[in-house]
Structure 1
Amino acid sequence: MIHASRLLLDLPAAMPRTTTHHTSFLLQVITLGFLVEIQLLAHRSHAMSADAGTAPCRGDQAAALLAVKRSLSFTGSATSGPATTTLPSWREGTDCCRWEGVGCDNVTGMVTALNLASRNLAGAVPDYIRNLTALEVVLLGSNKLTGPVPLDAHMFPYLAEVDLSNNSFWGTVPASFFTQPTLQRLCLNMNRLSGAIEEFQNPSATLTYVDLSSNQLTGAIPTSFAYLTALQILQLDHNNFTGTLDLNPFVRLKNLTMISASYNPLLSASGDGSKIDASNSSITSLNLAYCNLTRLPRVLGYLPELGNLDLSCNQIQGEIPQWIWTNMSSLNLSHNLFTTVGQPPHYVNIIYIDLSFNMLRGAVPFPSNGDRLDYSNNKFSSIPQSSFLRFIQINPLLERSGLTTYSINLANNELSGPIPYSECREQYALRMLDLSGNNLSGSVPPYLLKGCGQLIMLNLRGNHLGGTWPDETSESCQLQLIDLHGNHIQGRLPRSLARCQYLIALDIGGNHFEDSFPIWMGQLPQLRLLILRNNNFHGPVSIPPLVEKNSTADYFSRVRIIDLAGNHFNGDLPPDFFKSFKSMVWGPNRTIAEYDDYTTVSAKQGFISYLVAVDVAMKQQYMRVSKVSTDLVVIDLSSNRFSGFIPRSISNLTSLHVVNLSSNAFGGKIPRELGQLVRIESLDLSWNHLVGEIPQELATVTTLAWLNLSYNDLSGRIPSGSQFSTFTGSSFQGGNKGLYGCPLLVKCNLTFVTSPSSSLPPPAREGSPFEDIMLWLFVGVGFGVGFALTIVLQVVCSGRREKIARIAR
């Protein structure tokens, strides 16, 4: 019999860890209901004890608890500092039933509940805990406990819940947990348990929840699990189970709602379902991602309640069967080898579909209603005209819950022709649309900018779209990301984009836009990335008069990547052009968090974020950055017609990683202030008209990994320093006729300088090349004459000695 206890449970500490966000809400509801039931039981017990009186804690129970306390240490948390919870109420001579985290039976005074979750406890739980034989609830999760599992269910006949999750327990899982007649909930996840789980006899009829995920368990999954008749949820993810999981016997468990065994790379699954009655099955969720499946178990088609299926990252081949659409609310078959899929019936309503990274061909399958569809990286060739974007209608229930993000991803397929027409009214609440990496042609449909008022991300990158960009942006523009890179769009940049006050990234590189510098975009408060590379922009780059007069005015104040390369900009850069780029400034009292809420640049809606990707010219390579960190700061003005001096205000941008001013007509000297760019990794000033010496300050920038100063008119000695010693001659060769010193062969002298302000003696006067040649010629002649005279003297002296010797004889 399970005795009532008086214990206030810590609900957040006992919440389970789930494997996918689609099932987490269901698991939390079940867990919360179970814990509330225990809470009410404890409350009723406490109410009865107030009337009838309560028995004090027994002495042997208090002694056991004090022994447990003495055996453990209380460590500090990495985030909260030194621990303050050292169980101060656990004092000898006091009633242990009133100690924090302890619950007792009101009649016997026996300890029935122990809740020490999330208290920074460390060490091995001693055997003294075995004296607490009346324990019903043991919650020790989220500590730093070690050693073997301290509980053997045979010694605790009343156990109802055990949570030892998120510790460092090792050893095997005691099979007695699965035969204990009162145990309802078992959480051993996130430990270091290993070895195989033994088959067991007399399976429990009360065990409803088992979580063994995130351990190092091996061997086959015991078939005995299929005889736990009360089982509702079984989580075995992130282990090393092997063999084949036969799903047939699990179908007979009428209470079972979820099986999750993802991330067991050597585990397969089977079950034909032909000899069993699955009509009473309650399985709603099945997760077998990152396993070793090569085909779909046929039994899945017989499960009437199956709504959440994750078989991603396997090697399943062939056709996606038509039954897959039945009752399905969440489907993930991505990263497999499927080749064909049929169109879903008209009545199908599905929340989430991910069929990405397969080899699917033909027409894109659109359900009649949906939330998130990802069909990217396949070989789909057509979009049904009648269904494009029409499936995306607002689901009132999901909209109110804030769980919805309506999106479609068709990137990297073989779609061709124009983008299909769609009315895209307000009831079609499209948030994200990705059609990049296809063969789409025609112009950008105006409805994408005007009708789709909820759109936050539009990616049409890498197609064959042409025409002009319609100047019909909605007054209530919500767009955060626009990527039209690599098309054939021409004309002016639409001024109505100024309405997009939430715009974070604009990439229109690789098109045929003809316009002046978009000075009007400097007022967009959220803009972080501006990519205008390889278009036909022209004229000077200027700043508004208001910004010139007021240095605190916002003008591109949050931009962290600006790429104007490969256009026809000309003229001098304004001296204060870089001063307003405030988010490019790094200081001891300033962090990126002042400007950005996230570590990556992304468009966000609800639980979904779409990472921004850009192409960056860095270290003489044009590389794809698929996950743009807010820490990446780039200025690329290369391949234009800029002239005049390099503005010294660029030295204020101390967060810069990449500066590329190559292939322009900049003149004057290299600003010494560039030595203040303490985080710069790549600096390219090649193919300009720069003169004078290379500033010694550059030699002290320890982060500089790549430098190109070639094809200028530089002169003088190349500075020496720790970073400069790593550069090859190609960093300086070409032009620069007056330049000498290592790594060039002319007057190479390995002299290391530690600081530009070091006191150095004045250099010796350098002679002309002719004087140097004559000097070495005379030195060589001197050595030759000296050597000849030495030989002659030795011969003469030797002859005299022989003559003297003959006379002596």
Structure 2
Amino acid sequence: MIKSIFFTITFVFLISLPTLSRSQRCNKDDEKVLFKIKKSFGNPYHLASWQKTLDCCQWYNVECDANTSRIISLTIFSGNISGQIPDEVGDLPYLQTLVLRKLTNLTGEIPSAITKLTHLTMLRLSWTNLSGPVPSFLSKLTNLNFLDLAFNDLTGSIPPELSTLKNLNAIHLDRNKLTGVIPESFGTFTGNVPDLYLSHNQLTGTIPKSLGYLNFSTIDFSRNQLTGDISMFFGTNKTIQTADFSRNSFEFNISEVVFPASLTSLDLNHNKIYGSLPAMLTGLNFQYFNVSYNRMCGQIPQGGDLQTFENTSYFHNRCLCGSPLPACT
């Protein structure tokens, strides 16, 4: 009987050990920083779980490393958060993911304190009212593989220093008020060739020829004021899959372009592109295709996926004809 009680007590004690360790796993330095961040945002209800009565690794919006118990992710999404990004964000030294997204009352500029986050791999500050420039100091975040600054009020030019980030898989600078040209340096990415999203800005000038030396998978330069020839992004040796150059002033002869077999989405609407559609387009597997509002002529090649799209993908050209447009005469 006594032996049975002893084993029972021992078992209860042992299984309680993980619970005790879990209750003390939050790093106190990280906890202090989070409380400062909460205060700077006005102690919003969205961060109500940030209380001393609960381990900070269990707080909403926070993730800790299982081994070190240091905070590695801070994701604040779609909350009633007001104020500016506090400098204290830079005092979470093990942070790998920082997401402040769909916070329409978040204002001010991107703070340089972010450069202290040397382990950061994802930076997503999007759908806010952040203003000021796209900071060149972001190039110091050498471990970044995803940069999203879309849907803000950022102004000024695109910093050429971003091309020094060797691990980037994607750059989202779309839906801002950026001006100037696309940097020549964007043709010199030495590591990954990132997907480029620069749409819905006020960019001007021609596309640097250096970009044609790289092999992009996704490019979206739509809704800017760009000019010139973008055929350098295509060719038999390319593997581009999605290309959106719509609503610019690009001007080139499309009949001379060789489109790669990898291409599945092509949007060229509202430009000044001329020539006839090459027959090779019938051999591609398109999920999306639009060449409307240009200056093209000739018969639309018959076959493949080209006739699966509505006439709106072709209309308002100089003299394109054939299905799904009216027959050629």
Compute the TM-score of the two structures, normalised by the length of structure 2.
0.75
Structure-2 separation of matches of 1:191 and 1:179: 22
State the partner residue of 2:316.
377
> Which structure has more helix as a fraction of its residues?
2
Deviation of 1:62 (Å): 2.8
What's the counterpart of residue 139 of structure 2?
Answer: 178
Residue 358 of structure 1 corresponds to which residue in structure 2? Answer: 294
Structure 1 position 336 matched with structure 2 position 271? yes
Q: CA RMSD in A?
A: 3.5
Seen in structure 2, the aligned counterparts of structure 1 residues 176 and 321 have a Cα distance that, compared at 3 Å, is same
Find the counterpart in structure 1 of residue 127 from structure 2: 166
Give 1:291's aligned amino acid: N
Work out the CA distance in 2 between the residues paired with 1:245 and 1:101.
36
Q: Which residue of 2 aligns with 1:241?
A: 179
Letter in 1 for 2:71: V
TM-superposed CA distance for 1:218, in Å, is: 1.6
SS in 2 for 1:345: helix
Would the alpha carbon gap of residues 102 and 229 (structure 1) be closer, same or farther in structure 2, given more than 3 Å must change? closer
Query: For residues 259-302 of structure 1, what are the alpha-carbon distances to aligned partners after superposition, in whole Å with 9 as ceiling and x for unaligned?
Result: 222233342233446xx995xx5412222223334321452244
Distance of aligned partners of 1:167 and 1:74 in 2 relative to their CA distance in 1, 3 Å threshold: farther
Q: Contact between 1:320 and 1:341, CA under 8 Å: does it hold in 2?
A: yes
More RCO (CA 8 Å, sep 6+): 2
Distance 1:348 1:247 in 2: 34
SS in 1 for 2:181: strand
1:299 aligns with 2:232: yes
Q: Does 1:288 align with 2:221?
A: yes
User: Which of 252, 256, 274 pairs up with 1:322?
Assistant: 256
Describe the shift of the 1:134–1:114 C-alpha distance in structure 2 as closer, same or farther (beyond 3 A). Answer: same
**Using the alignment, how far apart are the partners of 1:381 and 1:166 within structure 2?**
40
Counterparts of 1:128 and 1:345, CA distance in 2: 56
2:242 pairs with 308, 324, 331, which one? 308
CA contact (8 A) 1:343 1:366 kept: no
Aligned length: 304
Residue 590 of structure 1: aligned partner: none
Counterpart CA distance in 1 for 2:216 and 2:201 is 20
Q: How far apart are 1:305 and its partner, in Å? A: 0.8
Cα shift at 1:153: 3.3
Confirm or deny: 8 A CA contact 2:195 2:216 kept in the other structure. Answer: yes
What pairs up with 1:564-575 in 2 under 5 angstroms? Answer: none
Do the aligned residues in 1 keep the contact of 2:254 with 2:275 (CA within 8 Å)?
A: yes
What pairs up with 1:573-652 in 2 under 5 angstroms? none
Report 1:64-103 matches (<5 A): 64-73=33-42, 85-92=45-52, 94-103=54-63
For the residues of structure 1 that align with 2:182 and 2:117, how far apart are their CA atoms?
A: 33
Structure 1 residue identity aligned to 2:107: T
Q: Which runs of structure 2 are paired with 1:713-724 in the superposition (5 Å)?
A: none
With structure 1 as the length reference, what TM-score do the two structures score? 0.34
Residues 1:120 and 2:89 aligned together: no
Letter in 2 for 1:62: E
Post-superposition offset of 1:233: 1.8
Larger radius of gyration: 1
Which of 109, 113, 116 is matched with 1:152 structurally? 113
1:56-71 correspondence to structure 2 within 5 Å: 56-71=25-40
Counterpart CA distance in 2 for 1:138 and 1:162 is 5
- Whole-angstrom CA distance in 2 between matches of 1:123 and 1:61: 21
- Separation in 1 of the partners of 2:231 and 2:19? 60
- Unmatched tracts of structure 2, length 5 or more: 1-16
Matches within 5 A, 1:160-559: 160-193=121-154, 217-219=155-157, 221-238=158-175, 239-246=177-184, 249-250=187-188, 253=190, 255-272=192-209, 278=213, 281-302=214-235, 304-327=238-261, 328-345=263-280, 348-351=283-286, 352-370=288-306, 371-372=308-309, 374-380=313-319, 382-383=321-322, 388=323, 408=324, 410=325
Q: Do 1:89 and 1:100's aligned partners in 2 also have CA atoms closer than 8 Å?
A: yes
Q: State how far apart, in whole Å, the 2-side matches of 1:159 and 1:91 are.
A: 26
Shift of the 362–245 alpha-carbon distance from structure 1 to 2, 3 Å rule, reads same
In the alignment, the residues of structure 1 paired with residue 271 and residue 54 of structure 2 have an alpha-carbon distance, to the nearest angstrom, of 62
Which residue in the other structure is 2:95 paired with? Answer: 135
What's the CA shift for 1:242?
0.9
For residue 355 of structure 1, report the CA deviation from its aligned partner. Answer: 1.8
Task: Specify whether residues 60 and 222 from structure 1 end up closer, same or farther in structure 2 by C-alpha distance, changes over 3 A only.
Answer: closer
- For structure 1, which runs of at least 5 residues remain unmatched after alignment? 1-48, 76-84, 194-216, 389-407, 418-809
Q: How far did 1:157 drift?
A: 3.0
Report sequence identity in percent.
23
